[in-house]
Amino acid sequence: AKTGRSIKLLKLLTSMPAPSDAGKREELAKIAAKMEANYGAGKWCHEGATGNQECLSLQQIEKIIDDPEASPQARADAWAGWHETARPIRKDYQRFVEPANEGAREQGFADAGELWRSGYDMSPTEFEAETERLWSQVEPLYDQLHCYVRAELHEQYPDEVPADGLIPSHLLGNMWAQQWSNIYPEVQPYPGVGDLDVSSALQKRRNEAYKKRLGEFNGQPTPEDLAEIGHQADADSSVAMTKIAEDFYTSLGMPELPESFWKKSLLTQPRDRDVVCHASAWDVDMEGDVRIKMCIEPDEEQLYTIHHELGHIYYYLAYNDLPPLFQTGAHDGFHEAIGDTITLSLTPQHMKTIGLIDEVSEDEHAVINSQMKLALDKIVFLPWGKLVDQWRWKVFSGEIAPEDYNRGWWELRERYQGVAPPMARNEQDFDPGAKYHIPGNTPYTRYFLARILQFQFYKAACDQAGWEGPLHRCSFYGNKEVGEKLNAMLEMGASKPWPDALEAFTGSREMSGKAMMEYFAPLKEWLDKQNAGKPSGW
Ligand code: X8Z
Ligand code: ZN
């Protein structure tokens, strides 16, 4: 049975199955590299505020889109500017699909999408039904959030946001409208109740690092010296933030990160070259040479992402002793869920303990505020997390033809997310390609599953810790027993079907959105009242 499982895993090993024909194999590899490079080098060049031509990287463009205080026009321009960068790979993507499908067919799958759906210890058809089932469990809460946010935004932007129908996607605080927590200040239910602003504390720490570095400098710094000092301060801040995340894991009894992690990771955007800044975690030799690559900035979202990346790292470290084919997640959603499970313990109370917020308010209004903020990330992500592969499955199967790539994309975005593009699109555009995982060819359903699973893991951890209060207030920081059980699941890698791993940690063999809904019960009740009488749906 172990051999059977190994052979199966071997077939599923790659998201880009190579055809046996050498020429096609090479073509596939070349296109993949080109698409990824195009993403990493993408720039939006336009006339800046000073009248000079300026070229902005994704990270810089995101600063505009993410900022609820930037004007709708500025945000629409930034959105269009970034999406423009994906146009050149539209043809490449089309050429990429063919050899990828051929490789999948050689392995006995109907197409590459079917191969992707085969990694879940059930048939591809069953898996598709499974994602539908999970979505239907959580969809009502998304619909309510959509309704509430649309009404709030309609008040603020009556010209841009309609009272009913689709929300324009550039006003939601994220390039892909995949998480909306950046507009939390604009839609917070009880303005000013409870302090949830972690970003400004992180920014402050970064500025203190700058002052310290400047104080250590001998003589009169030139502008170039100042830039270097700034870069060093960014690096100090990145390391300090990574240590905050590491500390959570070690509090659970996990090992400290190896020396080599600190030496070899890329934690700060280099000054001298383009890199793909999209965060990733690596196990270079499968024997403990673990690293992350991430252009860390001092804000809350990034602090969460570091916890996410370290989840991958601790998974790698836990299963390092298994045979190589088992050195992967129970399924890919598990891998994506571990670090996020940890972040659910970063409650306002915990943030206060580690000095990132000043006051914690315990009243009901503060609870609704903090649930809203989290839901704008966790719940809002779900339809997006599902639709990205919905699109690719259809592209691989031919249901979406190359001449309909962009239309097919927006149909799904409208249907699932209820969002619209800020301006008319056409088939010269390749809007899916403006999201890293499309040129990077990384399957995406894993993130949808992870959103659901992380609440199951979190609830199980809180049960293990003997927590008896409302779920959303639980933090398992420092609990070694939880750490041990968690590590036991991680150590299993992919040696057993995933339901065994899930059972080992949670006692259940089924994925379920119930823990997530339990977590957000207070918000759901509040939204029910708020939305009464408002138009819902789109
Ligand atoms: O790509 C990631 C991680 C790396 S595995 C940073 N995530 C998805 C995204 O950014 O789109 C994490 C959440 C979803
Ligand atoms: Zn990840």
Query: Ligand 1 pocket check: which of 175, 308, 380, 435 to mutate, most ligand atoms within 8 Å of Cβ?
Result: 308
Residue 485 has pLDDT above 80, yes or no: yes
179 alpha carbon, closest ligand: 1
Ligand 1 centre distance from Cα of residue 284 (Å): 19
Lowest mean pLDDT among 13-27, 77-91, 168-182, 333-347: 13-27
More confident residue, 286 or 531: 531
Atom of ligand 1 nearest to the CA of 447: 14
The per-residue pLDDT for 524 is 97
Ligand 2 centre distance from Cα of residue 313 (Å): 10
Q: What is the token pair recorded at 422? A: 């800020």
Closest to 31 measured CA to CA, from 82, 89, 84: 89
The per-residue pLDDT for 273 is 87
315 alpha carbon, closest ligand: 2
More confident residue, 13 or 233: 233
Residue 14 has pLDDT above 90, yes or no: no
What is the tens place of the pLDDT at every residue in 399-451? 999 999 999 999 999 999 999 999 999 999 999 999 999 999 999 999 999 99
Residue 176 Cβ contacting ligand 1 at under 6 Å: no
CA distance 3 to 307: 35
Q: Which long-range contacts (C-beta less than 8 Å, at least 24 apart) are formed by 264-267?
A: 264/289, 264/291, 265/291, 265/292, 265/293, 265/294, 266/291, 266/292, 266/293, 266/294, 266/295, 267/235, 267/238, 267/239, 267/242, 267/292, 267/294, 267/296
pLDDT > 70: what percent of the chain? 100
Residue 280 Cβ contacting ligand 1 at under 6 Å: yes
**CA 359 and chain centroid, separation:** 28
331 as an active site residue: the answer is no
What is the tens place of the pLDDT at every residue in 466-483? 999 999 999 999 999 999
Helices and strands, counts by H and E, the chain: 21, 6
307 as an active site residue: the answer is no
Which whole-number Å values give the CA distances from 448 to 145, 255, 336, 445, in the listed order?
18, 29, 9, 5
Atom of ligand 1 nearest to the CA of 435: 11
Residue 321 has pLDDT above 90, yes or no: yes
What is the tens place of the pLDDT at every residue in 442-465? 999 999 999 999 999 999 999 999
Atom of ligand 1 nearest to the CA of 279: 6
The conformation of residue 344, written as its DSSP 8-state character, comes to T
The per-residue pLDDT for 42 is 96
In the three-class reduction of DSSP (H, G, I as helix; E, B as strand; rest coil), residue 4 is classed as helix
The per-residue pLDDT for 40 is 93
- What 3 state SS string does 30-79 have? HHHHHHHHHHHHCCEEEECCCCCEEEECHHHHHHHHCCCCCCHHHHHHHH
278 as an active site residue: the answer is yes
Residue 447 Cβ contacting ligand 1 at under 6 Å: yes
Residue 124 has pLDDT above 90, yes or no: yes
380 alpha carbon, closest ligand: 1
Closest to 194 measured CA to CA, from 378, 375, 363: 363
365 as an active site residue: the answer is no
Query: Going by CA atoms, what residue is nearest to atom 6 of ligand 1?
Result: 279
Of 249, 447, 477, 519, catalytic: 447
Residue 1 has pLDDT above 80, yes or no: no
What is the tens place of the pLDDT at every residue in 131-172? 999 999 999 999 999 999 999 999 999 999 999 999 999 999
- Where helices occur in 268-363 by DSSP H, the ranges are 300-319, 332-343, 348-353
The stretch 281-307 carries a mean pLDDT of 95
Which whole-number Å values give the CA distances from 442 to 255, 278, 299, 408, 449, in the listed order?
29, 12, 25, 19, 14
- pLDDT-derived band at 11, boundaries 50, 70, 90: confident
Query: Going by CA atoms, what residue is nearest to atom 3 of ligand 1?
Result: 279
Q: What is the token pair recorded at 340? A: 């996020």
46 as an active site residue: the answer is no
Q: What is the token pair recorded at 321? A: 């002793």
In the three-class reduction of DSSP (H, G, I as helix; E, B as strand; rest coil), residue 283 is classed as strand
Residue 306 has pLDDT above 90, yes or no: yes
Length of the chain: 538
Query: Ligand 1 pocket check: which of 174, 178, 278 to mutate, most ligand atoms within 8 Å of Cβ?
Result: 278
The per-residue pLDDT for 3 is 85
Q: What is the dihedral of CA 415, 379, 438, 17, to 10 degrees?
A: -100
In the three-class reduction of DSSP (H, G, I as helix; E, B as strand; rest coil), residue 218 is classed as coil
Ligand 1 centre distance from Cα of residue 447 (Å): 7
Query: Going by CA atoms, what residue is nearest to atom 14 of ligand 1?
Result: 447
- pLDDT-derived band at 211, boundaries 50, 70, 90: very high
440 alpha carbon, closest ligand: 1
The stretch 17-21 carries a mean pLDDT of 92
Query: Going by CA atoms, what residue is nearest to atom 7 of ligand 1?
Result: 447
Whole-structure pTM value: 0.97
How many Cβ atoms are within 10 Å of 50's Cβ, its own excluded? 7
Produce one character per residue of 300-335: b if its CB has 16 or more CB atoms within 10 Å, e if not: bbbbbbbbbbbbbbbbbbbbbebeebbbbbbbbbbb
- pLDDT-derived band at 49, boundaries 50, 70, 90: confident
How many Cβ atoms are within 10 Å of 398's Cβ, its own excluded? 12
Residue 174 Cβ contacting ligand 1 at under 6 Å: no
Ligand 1 centre distance from Cα of residue 226 (Å): 33
Average pLDDT of the chain is 96
Residue 70 Cβ contacting ligand 1 at under 6 Å: no
The per-residue pLDDT for 275 is 86
The per-residue pLDDT for 48 is 84
Query: Ligand 1 pocket check: which of 336, 377, 446 to mutate, most ligand atoms within 8 Å of Cβ?
Result: 336
The stretch 301-305 carries a mean pLDDT of 97
